Amino acid sequence: MSETGNGRIRQSNIELLRIISMCMIIAMHYMTKGMLLPKLSEDMSLHNIVFRVIFAFCASSVNVYVFISGYFAIDSKWSIGKLVRLWLQVFLYSILVPLVMWAFGAVDISSMDLGMKQQIFLPISYEHYWFATSYVLLYLFSPVLAIAIEKLDKKQLGAAIAVLITVFCGFKSVNPYLIPWDKYGDDVIWFMVLYLIAGYIRLYGIPLIDGTGGTSAGTNTEKTPDRRTGTRGLLVYIIFSALTFVIALAVSFIVRKTGKLEYYMDMTLCYNYITVLIASVGLFAAFRSLNIKPNKFINRIAGYTFGVYLLHENIVLRELWPKLLGIEAVNGKWYQILHMLLCIVIVFACGCIIDAIRTMIFDKVGRKHM
């Protein structure tokens, strides 16, 4: 383990999961931006089925990334400085990437409409990045959530989480019709639910997966999960990720036969769908049980993952990098999975290098003003 700047112990097993989660997010963007996911009801080709399966196994990535923040809430101290640094990181990526692209003649800022300019200069308010907006808001509310996790006993916290899951996950998962207030898990409310779940896991474990629980009630000293937790968690992840795809496939047959339930067909891939949530818990449990020695390289790279997201999802790059990497040219080819893996490595590496440079500059500026 290694110390972070705020005194929290960084666990290399969890930091490795953070890296893998971001790679899975890039994979999902590869598939969606590369137009690799036509509706199953219209395209039952092997190519579409394969990538639909891959997407189902990647769908838990966002939930897991948020779990990590909630899991360490007990140890972390909230600070206005960290909130400002988080906002500043989002703002600088939002504004500097288009400016650099403009300087090289790749983007014409003057031709952008007002909506795009608002997203660039007010990235949190206008959701330049929906994930970043929700993530910053989550951090803003995290002191309240941390108090709830600390003050509620096991039964109270479990009951509160059960109600929240029922309202924001369970109901939409069994309801085949559009719910007006459902944001598909792309909002801060769902992030808050995930944050509380992760806090519960930290304190009390996952009884159905690891059996032993996490810590004794009222303490924040983590207990090592049962050695079989990793296997159980991995099985839960595999089974429920596969089930996510199977449900979508079954609904697609109904759509083909009746023309009904078309809306529900893609609901299984939402972050707040019940099978996706359970798969997320399983994946998190599997990595939580890993016994990895402190690894400075893993810990350092994990610190750049948010920057990786902010770079490749920037409004002027999110549609451009798939074209530059030639996704369309290999669409339908037998080696497309290999191409996807290569693209993930390239996008992730570029993001890490750029965020490493940003971090170095931030650190130097910060030291000068201390």
Q: Is a pLDDT exceeding 70 seen at residue 370?
A: no
Q: Which run of H or E residues covers position 10?
A: strand 9-10
Quick one: average pLDDT of 2-27?
A: 80
User: What CA–CA distances, in Å, run from 228 to 167, 285, 291?
Assistant: 32, 10, 12
CA–CA gap between residue 250 and residue 114 (Å, rounded): 43
Q: Is a pLDDT exceeding 50 seen at residue 58?
A: yes
The answer to whether the CB of 247 falls within 8 A of the CB of 282 is no
CA–CA gap between residue 263 and residue 295 (Å, rounded): 45
User: What CA–CA distances, in Å, run from 351 to 32, 54, 77, 179, 318?
Assistant: 19, 23, 27, 36, 13
CA–CA gap between residue 264 and residue 241 (Å, rounded): 17
- In order, the DSSP letters of 216-274 are -TT---PPPPPTTHHHHHHHHHHHHHHHHHHHHHHHHHHHHHHS--HHHHTGGGSTTSH
Q: Is a pLDDT exceeding 60 seen at residue 108?
A: yes
Quick one: average pLDDT of 110-118?
A: 88
Question: pLDDT, tens digit, for every residue of 185-227?
Answer: 999 999 999 999 999 999 998 888 876 544 444 444 455 566 6
Question: pLDDT, tens digit, for every residue of 122-170?
Answer: 999 999 999 999 999 999 999 999 999 989 999 999 999 999 999 999 9
Q: Is a pLDDT exceeding 50 seen at residue 357?
A: yes
Instruction: Specify the residue for token string 């997320």.
Output: 280
Quick one: average pLDDT of 54-70?
A: 96
pTM: 0.92
Reduce the DSSP state of residue 359 to 3 states and report it. Answer: helix
CA–CA gap between residue 42 and residue 3 (Å, rounded): 51
Closest CA to 348 of 13, 2, 23, 14: 23
Question: How is residue 171 written in tokens?
Answer: 């109901």
pLDDT at residue 219, as a whole number: 46
Q: Which amino acid is at 362?
A: F
pLDDT at residue 220, as a whole number: 47
pLDDT at residue 364, as a whole number: 72
Buried b (16+ CB within 10 A) or exposed e, 294-309: ebeebbebbbbbbbbb
pLDDT at residue 9, as a whole number: 67
- Cα four-point dihedral sign 136, 138, 141, 143: negative
The answer to whether the CB of 165 falls within 8 A of the CB of 196 is no
pLDDT at residue 222, as a whole number: 53
